[in-house]
Each structure stands twice: as structure tokens, then as C-alpha cells.
Amino acid sequence: MKSPVKYIIVLVALSISSCTWNQSEIPADFAIKIEGMFHDKVDTFNGTYVRSGVKKPKKKEIINGRETGRNIIEYSDSVVYTTFTIQEKQELYSLLRKINYTTYPDTSKIECESDIVPSHKIHIKVRANNRIKYISYNDGCQDNNNEIKAARSIVNLTMEILERHKEVKQLPETVLLDL
């Protein structure tokens, strides 16, 4: 008869190994949020994409109950609900692993020596394995360091993925100009 201690050791080892995080798997809670872009906001926590500066249909200006003959031009935000597929999440998560985002501090403000003015502060929030990391940088940064490249690659890939989505393609273009 074989020793039950050996079986217990094997069972404990298997249960411990199954609890460890496989770096190639996408965490169940994986989500990303990007704000601060001039006319786009991405939030996979809530499954939304917002495009700002979408022109509303023209309205006639009315003063004291009379049309003036002038049109009023208004702008609004367009919101669509969209989710990333497992393959899209894997694509994005692979990039995050490649840039070693897990080694970043919980809040990372990437400093820049040379900025274009005007520019915007981009805020990236990533959740994975019950941890949240915040990365922020100035999109007008002219520095070409690895941190800036990595942060831009997160934004660029996220936007590339979203632009493949039918519901995003169907949104009207923004009429806002980014100087």
C-alpha cells in the first residue's frame, strides 16, 4: 500500500500550482480606462466609448418667438456600448505584459522635459488581478523615452482595437480640431 502522505503532498502541490497566476492568461477582472484624449474616452470597466464634439442637427435660432434666419450649431458627446472580445483583451494584455506594466508603481506620472503647447494630460487606469495601476502623461511630450513610448502604445493599441468595432465605426466624426 502506498503512503497517503505522498498523495497529500501531490494534491497540495497541484492545488498551489493551480492558484498561481499564469502570465499568459487574461485576468478575469482585466479592464482599461483612458481619459484626457481630446475627443475620445474609453472605459472597458463599463463597456463604453465616448466621442466628444459630434455635431448635432442644425436648429433655427428663435428670439421672441421669431426665427432669425441663423442656424444654431451645437455639439454633444456620442456614447456607444462596446466590449472587447477575448482575443482583443489578449492583444492588449500581451502589450501590457511586454512593457512590464506590473513593475510600474501604482500611480505613475511620466514626466516630460519638452512639451508642445497646447496638449492634454492622458490618464490610463488598468485593473488586473485585483490591482489597479494609474499611468498619466502629457500627449504633447516630445521626449522619446521608453516610458512615453509604452504609454502611447497602450493608447494607440486600445484605439486601434476600438476602431475595428462596428458600433464605433458608425459614430459620426468629431468636428473638434486638436491643435
Q: Which helix (H) or strand (E) holds 61?
A: strand 59-63
Comparing 62 with 165, the larger pLDDT belongs to 165
Going by C-alpha positions, the residue among 2, 34, 16, 19 that lies closest to residue 135 is 34
Per-residue pLDDT of 126-137, as tens digits, reads 999 999 999 998
pTM of model > 0.85: no
Over residues 137-147, the mean pLDDT reads 84
CA distance 62 to 70: 9
How many structural domains compose the chain?
A: 1
176 belongs to a structural domain: no
62 belongs to a structural domain: yes
Per-residue pLDDT of 83-123, as tens digits, reads 999 999 999 999 999 999 889 899 989 888 887 777 788 99
8 belongs to a structural domain: no
92 belongs to a structural domain: yes
CATH code, domain with 50: 3.30.1560
2 belongs to a structural domain: no
